Amino acid sequence: MVPALTLMMYTGLGPQDALTLSKQQYQNGFISTRRAKTGAPVFWPVIAPLKATLEDAPNHKVPTLCANSRGQPWTVSGFRASWRKLRIQLEKQNLIEPGLTLYGLRHTVATILREIGLNDRDLAAALGHESEAMARLYAKGADLRKNMLDIAVRFEKEITLRGKEFSKRIEQKCQTSPKKSVKP
């Protein structure tokens, strides 16, 4: 289950898209697919944690990237049943919040992307949404305070830089302007 869950967590793919993703759709460090629900393209560079998980996954001969313990492609219903058992164990150990759904991972990805500053258009592209409104819905719980702190720091740096450049131009202008003599 780990490769499929990791794929969902690090790409925002829904269960159906992650479980049916073919090996051919993972090439040269990128995942390239279309969402089954909307047909919208999804293109994700594979980040280090996902790459490591996929490299450590057991080898299998089926065309899908992820396979079950018998080396067969997952069905969505079979994966959900296995996920339910695992989720209950993880909840009892307080490792996850109660009721986490597979689509909840998609919302988690959306929230994180929004919190690090993605705008609605980029968020929609990352998740394969057809509209920015849907991207906003998925990321509605994002805490933007940290993002605004980062924006304030960047803004302050830019203002300081522009202030220095302005001061430099004024200074240069004063040095190159002919001095007028003042008659008493």
CA–CA separation, 103 and 68 (whole Å): 19
Residues 6 or more apart from 150 whose CB is under 8 A from it?
Answer: 117
Q: What is the pTM of this model?
A: 0.71
pLDDT digits (tens, 9 = 90+) for 83-125: 999 999 999 999 888 888 888 888 888 888 888 888 878 887 7
Compute the average pLDDT of residues 120-144: 67
pLDDT digits (tens, 9 = 90+) for 157-171: 776 787 777 777 777
The confidence band for 81, taking pLDDT boundaries of 50, 70 and 90, is: very high
CA–CA separation, 88 and 80 (whole Å): 12
